[in-house]
Structure 1
Amino acid sequence: MKDGKVIATLKDAILRSGLKNGMRISFHHHLRNGDGVMNMVLAELAAMGYRDLTLNSSSVFDVQSPIIDHVKSGLVGRIETNYMGAKVGRFISEGGMKEPVVFRSHGGRPSAIENGVTPIDVAFVAAPAADPMGNATGKRGKSACGSLGYAEADARCARHTIVVTDNLVPYPLEDALIQEQWVDGVVSVDSIGDPQGIVSGTTRLTRDPVALAMARTTVDVIRASGLLKDGFSFQTGAGGASLAAATFLKDVMLAEKIQGSFALGGVTGAIVDMLNAGCFRSIMDVQCFDLGAVASIRDNPRHVEISATRYASPTSKSCCVDSLDAAILGATEIDTDFNVNVHTDSNGSIMGGSGGHSDVAAGAKLCIVVAPLIRARLPIVTDRVTTISTPGRTVDVLVTQKGAAVNPGRADLRDRLAEAGVKIADIHDLKAAAEKLTGAPCRPARGTREVAKVMYRDETQIDSIKSVK
């Protein structure tokens, strides 16, 4: 084929896909709040008169708030995702959809796709570079976003896959995670989005003294655990305290001449700095969180792109999270049973999602949740979280500015921390200390209607999100 699989317009590509009303379409979120492909495709589908589609996206960001109008018009009848920003989340929480949203984890989603739980009819892959046969990468081009790990299962398993790119390059494109044998059509457009939108407010290093103190305690916990030695493996989130902890950990590893095996996850410049300093032999990267990570995965062969299946699928023969030593995660709320909420705010409105939170907590030998006692004048520790995102049995330590609370099931770890001089606090005492400052918060008024189902990584439902009043 002279032009390979290149199709002149998005409309023609959709017509060739055989998409019908009621089918499932999918998207990925590597351009995060800079993505332009989902809005572009949904606008075209609306113009073509489609109805009652299931939208399966690895995440939904605020930039994709036009989804609200497409739900109201009947184009989108159901949503399945791993994360949802506050704009669309508020609409869902107020009962804007007839069908409940289905939340999965970053590992649970590819597992569900591969095992036919949520089959994809047409996958739309936003590709910063692609050749005419559909080989695609996120590592180069004006819209480079780095890893395309969350798109791999979609492209591989969908009945029909359409690559949308703003950088059509000659065949063959080398080092392409998305491979031509999975791709049915390629559409070239002026822009797939803004790579500056990759960086959000949660991916910048903190200067807050409370967060810095928690970061130092977090590193003390890792050191006291006995896991920080040659071969150490590590994942951290993109919040300010987590990034600070990575920086402090780098200093310790260099001072003690410790070389770890790999760093994992969504990757930031802080993790890239650790790789370049010799703290780790490699990075396993399913998503780049900033442009420093994008440059690294393009240029450094030790910075390795992985699929979401390899990252965290519980039904694969093995996955990277199962080889993790330590992980640092955040929380919107944590309760006295160590259950963690990252789906809803304190009023019960959707503003997030598990992402890889529950996957990493389940796999890592040491799962540390870092959170201040109080946020926005509300205590973080509660009797029962508004929504369970990650079960308490998989969380080992809560680090706050008032000390570290250890899960009662980890008496061995508590003894190690005490011996090392880490300040230990009972989680009930932390709750009481916060409430002494803020007062005991009232439970939010909730409706009876289920607006979302929270699925654990093994596809069992772990919680139900009710409507807000």
Structure 2
Amino acid sequence: MRNSIGREGLENPFMGAFANVKESIYKPVKTDLTRHPERDSTLDEVLDSLKLKDGMTLSFHHHLRNGDYVLDMVMRKIQARGIKGLTIAATSIFPCHKCLVDMFEDGTVTKVITAYLQGPVAKAISEGRCRDICVVCTHGGRPRSILEGEIKVDVAFIAAPGVDKDGNLTGSDGPSACGILGYAVADAQMADKVVAITDYMADEVNKPEIPGYMVDYVVKVDSIGDPKGIVSGSTVITKDPVGLKIARDCATLIAHSGLLKDGFSFQTGAGGISLAVANEVKKLMKKNGIKGSFASGGTTDYLVQMLAEGYFEKLYDVQCFNLDAVESVKVRDNHLKIDANKYANINNPDNVVNNLDVVILGASEIDLDYNVNVTTGTDGIILGGSGGHADTAAGAKLAIIVSKLMNARLSCLVDKVTTVTTPGETIDILVTDRGIAINPKHQELIEKLRAETNLEILTIGELKEIADGLTGVPEKLKTSDRIVAVSEYRDGTILDVLYMV
């Protein structure tokens, strides 16, 4: 599954709807570059014009994350109109979208397709309260399926922080600025109708991502969301000595992998240990005078600082994780907006993740075959989803999982993961506080690390024996035989099924 595509295409990142895609596959629906969207209508008037009907697919994006008001605003009005059997194709679902639970009950919504979900909606799906089988895809798999027609979006509702006089949309301006609208670009390109909902209009806006000719309606409302809700989860380097040891060991491993040199490319998540790894890598880059080519992914203030201090030439950004990143992408020319197709679509030959050297990822579970679960908890309840996990693991030369071996008296290592989110063949290394397990396919690296470092290199079986000795072996999860969702890989393959709990 590893991709050896070169980096020549990365000099011109995606800044338009049709850049770097295969014309034979991706046919733009709206090609009249002179058209402008209808404006000054109320949301009710637009919903009347759309002629909504049962069974449609409606899409939303999540750049405002847990501060989003738009999905709730739109769906409550649609529910009041008595429309049933809708599919919600949202890029991610957060606790602020709990209105969907009531809509499962009355049949307004019967299916959800998303790359990530947490909170009341996730729990309701796990409990079998949504009628149809839901889909948990990847951030790269979603645009692939939309652009290739597997998912047909009838209406895309786009929360747009800024809209200009020509209907161009940006995430960078206005009181609800979220930085980027990259996850909504495929929807705007392919949906039958596109409705931009905004709380800020101006003659010109900063760095628009979606051109006005793709937009059918613009609706002005009082507020589309609370930008403070963008910050969710840990975005601070851990101070825990155990986590810091994991980070130091991981950085040592990267240094001896041969990949940490000029042109190095890197992605890390927003968790405390992952950010600590980035900090340790930064120290090594400074010590050795190394300048990286790019960092990518969901962006924290820490990656912004590394960009500002010259450790990377560019930052490819598909999603801002905090307000420092929102400001940076607005003002820095080398902090580049990209869309999800450019970021991680397996069928886009110029996708960014396939050019990564190293990605640092987390795991709720990892098994003896290196399969990783970040979709469900040990109780089977949905707690997240792939997002870009499976995309980056497949694309990067070295996909590293960092995790404490035990957390809350539970081991991260199991015989078989509850749900396969990311297949083991794409995971290279597990770094824990009790030792490091390296996929046996990397025998040269194993020998090199044993010869050059004092790192504790074990087999994954040996690590699991240590964990079992400390925590015991948990009882097998009991579920019903009803499938409530599927875990879908970036190419559309079904990796696993999720059962009602």
Q: Shorter-chain TM-score: what band?
A: over 0.9
Q: CA deviation at 1:450?
A: 0.2
Letter in 2 for 1:236: T
Write out aligned runs for 1:67-466 (5 A). Answer: 67-170=100-203, 172-421=204-453, 422-466=455-499
Q: CA deviation at 1:63?
A: 1.1
Contact 2:36 2:212 in 1 (8 A): no
Contact 2:36 2:215 in 1 (8 A): no
The DSSP-based 3-state class of the residue aligned with 2:305 is helix
Cα deviation, 1:96-120, whole Å, max 9, x if unaligned, reads 1121111110000000000000111
Contact 1:397 1:407 in 2 (8 A): yes
The DSSP-based 3-state class of the residue aligned with 1:25 is strand
Distance 1:419 1:158 in 2: 56
Q: CA deviation at 1:202?
A: 2.7
Q: CA deviation at 1:2?
A: 13
Distance 1:57 1:279 in 2: 34
Query: Structure 1 residues 216, 2: CA separation in 2 closer, same or farther (over 3 Å shift)?
Result: closer
Aligned length: 467
The DSSP-based 3-state class of the residue aligned with 2:500 is strand
% same residue: 47
Q: CA deviation at 1:149?
A: 0.9
Q: CA deviation at 1:4?
A: 5.8
Cα deviation, 1:253-278, whole Å, max 9, x if unaligned, reads 11211000000101111111111111
Query: Structure 1 residues 213, 2: CA separation in 2 closer, same or farther (over 3 Å shift)?
Result: closer
Distance 1:351 1:63 in 2: 15
The DSSP-based 3-state class of the residue aligned with 1:214 is helix
Distance 1:420 1:398 in 2: 19
Letter in 2 for 1:353: G
Contact 1:373 1:434 in 2 (8 A): yes
Distance 1:109 1:389 in 2: 15
Letter in 1 for 2:243: A
Cα deviation, 1:25-48, whole Å, max 9, x if unaligned, reads 000100111111101110111122
Letter in 1 for 2:168: N
Uncovered stretches (5+) of structure 1, i.e. residues with no partner: none
Write out aligned runs for 1:38-77 (5 A). Answer: 38-77=71-110
Distance 2:37 2:147 in 1: 27
Letter in 1 for 2:86: L
Q: CA deviation at 1:416?
A: 2.4
Q: Which moved more, 1:4-13 or 1:426-435?
A: 4-13
Contact 2:354 2:395 in 1 (8 A): yes
Match of 1:18 in 2: 51
Contact 2:363 2:402 in 1 (8 A): yes
Distance 1:215 1:47 in 2: 51
Distance 1:32 1:419 in 2: 45
Q: Which moved more, 1:318-327 or 1:410-419?
A: 410-419
Distance 2:196 2:449 in 1: 50
Contact 1:27 1:38 in 2 (8 A): yes
TM-score by length of 1: 0.97
Letter in 2 for 1:96: R
Contact 2:109 2:130 in 1 (8 A): no
Contact 2:393 2:422 in 1 (8 A): yes
Q: CA deviation at 1:467?
A: 1.0
Distance 1:106 1:115 in 2: 15
Q: CA deviation at 1:174?
A: 4.5
Letter in 1 for 2:42: T
Contact 2:304 2:328 in 1 (8 A): yes
Q: CA deviation at 1:412?
A: 2.0
The DSSP-based 3-state class of the residue aligned with 1:447 is coil
Cα deviation, 1:270-312, whole Å, max 9, x if unaligned, reads 1111111111000000000111111110111100000000000
Contact 1:4 1:132 in 2 (8 A): no
- Which segments of structure 1 move beyond 4 Å, counting only runs of 4 or more? 1-4
The DSSP-based 3-state class of the residue aligned with 1:328 is strand
Contact 1:333 1:381 in 2 (8 A): yes
TM-score by length of 2: 0.91
Contact 1:89 1:349 in 2 (8 A): yes
Uncovered stretches (5+) of structure 2, i.e. residues with no partner: 1-33
Q: CA deviation at 1:86?
A: 3.2
Contact 2:206 2:330 in 1 (8 A): no
